[in-house]
């Protein structure tokens, strides 16, 4: 786990409870600071994940948004099939009509974080550009290759699961995107660790705020239109 300030993160009451929950599920948790050089290169914290390299190499590494609550295994058969079909060391898709790779991806760690990839990281564009554009730039120059961006009727070309629920305060009524609907929340609330999380200090407050947005959104039959959830 990579954070801005390891000491502050561990000493803070709420994250400490989170670490105990993670240890219960995973057995052990490694927490380290984001590298100082990464911070210097860009002030966009969403881009940091694409400029870092794992400290511990597992067979696979899952890279995603920090506010996605994982509720299922990321070692999904269709993700592995996607890698094999497109002959890539990672599972991801290109945003339709854009030079962007989405920010949710599974990679074969040693095959992905190659010397060529690390060199591409060191010279990546890091100005005021979207994080997904930075990822596209790095991968395209690493020699890994890119997934196909055509034949959108092919399920593998558009396959991009989040393996959980996106708990974002930047979604909902009046926001650029809508929250996930009640159907998604039913599966989320069925996960055992969610109950523990609701009792973990401010975590429960945040989830309650998001759920209130979902209810308001459902009652108003709101959808994404004209760039706003309304």
Three-state SS string over 166-197 comes to: ECCCCECCCCCECCCCHHHHHHHHCCHHHHHH
Q: Which of 110-119, 149-158, 188-197 has the highest mean pLDDT?
A: 110-119
Nearest to 105 by CA among 127, 130, 136, 128: 136
Query: Has residue 75 got a pLDDT over 70?
Result: yes
For residue 18, the model assigns a pLDDT of 67
Average pLDDT over residues 17-30: 72
Asked if 175 and 209 touch (Cβ cutoff 8 Å), the reply is: no
Phi/psi at 204 (nearest 5 deg)? Answer: -65, -35
Q: Out of 97-106, 152-161, 172-181, 218-227, give the one with best mean pLDDT.
A: 97-106
User: What pLDDT sits at residue 207?
Assistant: 80
Greatest Cα pair distance, the chain, in angstroms, is 52
Region 85-93: mean pLDDT is 97
Please give the mean pLDDT across all residues of the chain: 87
């Amino acid at each position: 786990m990579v954070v801005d300030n390891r000491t502050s993160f561990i000493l803070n009451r709420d994250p400490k409870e989170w670490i105990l929950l993670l240890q219960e599920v995973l057995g052990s948790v490694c927490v380290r600071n984001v590298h100082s050089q990464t911070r210097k290169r860009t002030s966009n914290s969403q881009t940091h994940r694409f400029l870092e390299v794992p400290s511990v190499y597992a067979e696979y590494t899952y890279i995603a948004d920090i506010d996605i609550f994982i509720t299922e295994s990321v070692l999904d058969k269709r993700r592995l099939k996607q890698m094999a079909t497109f002959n890539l060391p990672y599972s991801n898709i290109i945003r339709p009509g854009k030079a962007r790779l989405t920010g949710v991806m599974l990679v074969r760690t040693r095959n992905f974080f190659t010397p060529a990839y690390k060199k591409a990281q060191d010279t990546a564009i890091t100005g005021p550009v979207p994080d997904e554009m930075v990822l596209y730039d790095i991968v395209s120059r690493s020699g890994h290759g890119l997934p196909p961006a055509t034949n959108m009727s092919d399920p593998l070309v558009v396959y991009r699961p989040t393996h959980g629920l996106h708990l974002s305060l930047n979604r909902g009524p009046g926001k650029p995107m809508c929250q996930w609907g009640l159907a998604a929340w039913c599966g989320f609330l069925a996960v055992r660790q969610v109950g523990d999380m609701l009792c973990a200090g401010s975590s429960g407050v945040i989830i309650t705020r998001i759920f209130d947005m979902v209810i308001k959104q459902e009652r108003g039959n709101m959808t994404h239109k004209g760039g706003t959830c309304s």
